Amino acid sequence: MRSGLNYGSQGGNAYCIGNGSKGHIVGRLGDECDTYAELSLSQEIYNKANNKFTIHTLIAYGTNEDFDGVKGQYDYQGNSWQGVGRGGDRAGDHDGTAAWNGQRTSLREAWAGYEMPSGIQLWAGKRFYQRKDIHIMDFYYLNNSGTGFGIENIGLNNLGSLSFALIKQQVDVDPTIYDWPNREYLVGKWEKTAPRTRDNAINSYKLDARWNGIPLWSDGTLDIALIYAWQHLSKEQKNAMHDQLSGNDLEHRSNTGFLAMVEWTQGNFFGGFNKLSVSYGKNGFDGVGGITDTANHTGDVVIPYGERGSGLRIIDWGVIEQSKWNLGYAFIFAHKHASGKNYEGANWSHPTGNEWAFVLRPSYKWSDYTSTVLEFGYASLANTQWTRWGDTERKDRLGVSKLTLAQQWSPSTQFWARPSIRVFASWLAGDYMNRQYTGLSEGKQHEYIFGAQVEAWW
């Protein structure tokens, strides 16, 4: 869980650059305005001759940090609204009620597993499936989570293990419109909200294959992931009205996606570890070519309509742990090639071009219980083409910086020790800030944030 207070130098809502599905492209320390918590309850209910049956649940709660008002807490998350599509479960509207990121309690996991004496496990239900994330950025660079069925941990003697799964994602919007609260932007003008039907939702199905733990050398392993996605459209969806926005029929929106990732993990790396990964995505997964929008939670989010292109992303991140100091670090470079067949050049992520970011979090240990932490992050973004309607002031690049100084207290000064109680001061700056709905004073591109926070797991 995490929670804290934020005090903005310009008054009004305290501003945070990243949150939730967007991640924290310049680091999360001193840049979390929300309250969020998870409670996981699991139970082994049967075990005979090493045949094990287990049940797993996870309940989550998060405050709503929406763009048009905040329920429960007067903080502002500039990135929390995705515009269209709510990954995971279906949602009612842009009111923060989505099961994955709303002012509500949600059931994130509900699945059961059967582990055989060989160690192979069958599972079914809703779960976080073999996720990979950069903690200091809250960035899930592989996260094919959802409802599904699979078999995992098929041992290959000394060559690692295989896992296979089929997982479903649902996008709860009419693909012929861009839906806003109680209104729709359709055929170049505002119209009254149309009734929703079962054909407003598009189901994406994803075949997932993993080969994990391939031994390389001492403390070195390799993981390989392959995901293929497609949509199963109804007759009504295929025969839907001509889309006036993109000039294409709905049928072309049965959009496949392909994702491949290779990751090398080196353990015993200066007291910690280092991970280097290369990912490639095609069409519905071309968001891998960026670091914002659909780039986070790669594998979870499939763009099921109007998306053509490819993306490449290289990530290196890890932790160094020494007796008097430690360092968390992350470097991301992404390139996207957007097809000209897209409406406005694949504006879901960004047009053809590069994005990159880095975050450094060094810490000095004063004692067994207290340390001083500095976190610096910078990101250079391609123009998202996804700002306010009618906004014509475009820039080729958007930059954003963050610098945070924090004093923290924890049970030990190891990098992963929690709970951690912190007081901090942050400086946020860059074009990216007032390109979102930040509420900053006109012409301002920076703000100072002071606050305190607790981050914990147990």
Residue 197 tokens read as: 């039907």
Q: What is the rounded CA–CA span in Å between residue 214 and residue 183?
A: 51
Q: What is the rounded CA–CA span in Å between residue 75 and residue 90?
A: 25
Residue 284 tokens read as: 């519905």
Residues 360-403 have pLDDT tens digits of 999 999 999 999 999 999 999 876 544 333 343 455 677 889 99
Residue type, 292: T
Q: What is the rounded CA–CA span in Å between residue 35 and residue 66?
A: 13
Residues 342-360 have pLDDT tens digits of 544 344 456 678 899 999 9
Q: What is the rounded CA–CA span in Å between residue 420 and residue 143?
A: 26
Rounded to an integer, what is the distance from CA 263 to the centroid of its chain? 18
Asked if the model's pLDDT at residue 263 lies above 80, the reply is yes
User: How much is the pLDDT for 66?
Assistant: 46
Give CATH for domain 2-455. Answer: 2.40.170.10
Q: Are 138 and 147 within 8 A, CB to CB? A: no
Q: How many CB atoms lie within 10 A of CB 155?
A: 13
Residue 427 tokens read as: 């400086």
User: How much is the pLDDT for 161?
Assistant: 97
Q: Are 377 and 360 within 8 A, CB to CB? A: yes
User: How much is the pLDDT for 56?
Assistant: 97
Asked if the model's pLDDT at residue 407 lies above 50, the reply is yes
Residue 451 tokens read as: 């606050």
Q: Are 279 and 291 within 8 A, CB to CB? A: no
Confidence class for position 91, pLDDT limits 50, 70, 90: very low
| Backbone φ, ψ for residue 85 (5° rounding) | 85, 130
Q: How many CB atoms lie within 10 A of CB 120?
A: 16
No. of H helices and E strands in the chain? 2, 27
pLDDT > 90: percent of the chain: 48
Single out the residue of 1, 2, 4 nearest to residue 424, CA to CA.
4
Q: What is the rounded CA–CA span in Å between residue 14 and residue 9?
A: 8
CA–CA distance from 197 to each of 18, 137, 240, 417 (Å)? 33, 38, 12, 48
Which residues on neighbouring strands pair with residue 164, listed in sequence order?
151, 209
Residue 282 tokens read as: 């095609």
User: How much is the pLDDT for 397?
Assistant: 76
What ranges do the domains of the chain cover?
2-455
Rounded to an integer, what is the distance from CA 72 to the centroid of its chain? 23
pTM: 0.83
The CA radius of gyration of the chain, in Å to the nearest whole number, is: 22
